[in-house]
Copies of this chain bind each other. A is one copy, B any other.
């Protein structure tokens, strides 16, 4: 892959629920331009919303703060990273939800892992969490 073909879009957004739909619009535009089909665009919209919802609800300590999203794209894939500067207690040991128990939470990360081709959950340099998720334009997965 030629590095020159990589585009990077960066977004910094206040940690407020009303902006998650703005982020969905932005990613719809990016994915559309990249040639993703409608089903994959829906997958990406849900996954990015889950990651942003987590950044807003778990990731941020201060009342008024921004969180960050990077969109890195080349011809074959879109890599989305959602960063927060929060408490960072998220680990990879997310258990599969047990629906028998009818828990109202705990679906977010499971949904992200189901809808995206590749998901990494990393500490953000010790001050928060990064959820990095990849979707391929074609059927590489």
Chain A: residues with CB nearer than 8 A to chain B? 4, 7-14, 16, 18-19, 21-22, 24-26, 28-30, 33, 64, 66
Closest Cβ neighbor of A9 among chain B residues: B13
Q: Is the Cβ of A19 less than 8 Å from the Cβ of B33?
A: yes
New A-B contacts (11) at CB < 8 Å, excluding given A19-B33, A24-B29, A26-B29: A4-B64, A7-B14, A8-B14, A8-B66, A9-B12, A9-B14, A9-B22, A10-B11, A22-B29, A22-B33, A25-B28
- Quote the shortest CB–CB distance from A38 to chain B (angstroms): 16
Distance in angstroms from A21 CB to nearest chain B CB is 6
- Which chain B residues border A7 with CB–CB below 8 Å? 14, 16, 19
